[in-house]
């Protein structure tokens, strides 16, 4: 005989297990918002075209990379984890006296799940997910 409380616990456990089996919902990345964020926060160093020749590039200790070649320089695969970590500061690049980005907390919060090319899930912020959607669209065609 199953007691009423035991039945409720079993239903609760079954419900939690079903929820755990459902993949995280992924909101589509917004490349338009990513472009707006890029132009506001990144183009000063990386240039409007993403090729690394923004107006501040000449005063930086480490020159900005050509963001249109991220895939080409990574054997044809967009280096998602490296880009996320570079933007959010987990892989800092000190080129102007402080880690990139100099915008600090702006790129934090609003957790958004993404998946690497191998299917590995990674959490980042909505702003970074949108920036990545824009950067993926900037990638140069293979030569």
pLDDT digits 0-9 by tens, 27-51: 568 999 999 999 999 999 999 999 9
Q: Note the pLDDT tens digit of each residue in 68-116.
A: 999 999 999 999 999 998 888 777 766 555 656 666 567 777 788 899 8
CATH number of 43's domain: 1.10.760
This prediction has a pTM of 0.73
The answer to the question of residue 51 being in a domain is yes
Determine the structural domain holding residue 105 and report its residue range. Answer: 30-138
The answer to the question of residue 81 being in a domain is yes
Which helix (H) or strand (E) segment holds residue 121: the answer is strand 121-125
The answer to the question of residue 21 being in a domain is no
- Please give the tally of structural domains in the chain: 1
The answer to the question of residue 116 being in a domain is yes
Adjacent-strand bridge partners of 124: 112
The answer to the question of residue 65 being in a domain is yes
> Residue 84 and residue 123: Cα distance in Å, rounded?
9
The answer to the question of residue 14 being in a domain is no
């Amino acid at each position: 005989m199953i007691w009423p409380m035991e039945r409720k616990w079993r239903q609760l456990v079954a419900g939690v297990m079903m929820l755990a089996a459902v993949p995280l919902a992924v909101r589509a990345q917004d490349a338009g918002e990513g472009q707006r964020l890029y132009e506001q926060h990144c183009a000063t160093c990386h240039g409007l075209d993403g090729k690394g020749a923004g107006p501040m590039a000449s005063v930086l200790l480490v020159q900005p990379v050509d963001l249109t070649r991220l895939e080409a320089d990574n054997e044809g695969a967009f280096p998602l984890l490296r880009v996320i970590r570079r933007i959010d500061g987990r892989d800092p690049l000190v080129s102007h006296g402080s880690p990139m980005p100099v915008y600090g907390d702006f790129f934090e919060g609003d957790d958004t799940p993404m998946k690497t090319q191998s299917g590995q899930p990674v959490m980042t912020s909505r702003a970074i997910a949108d920036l990545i959607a824009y950067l993926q669209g900037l990638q140069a065609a293979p030569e």
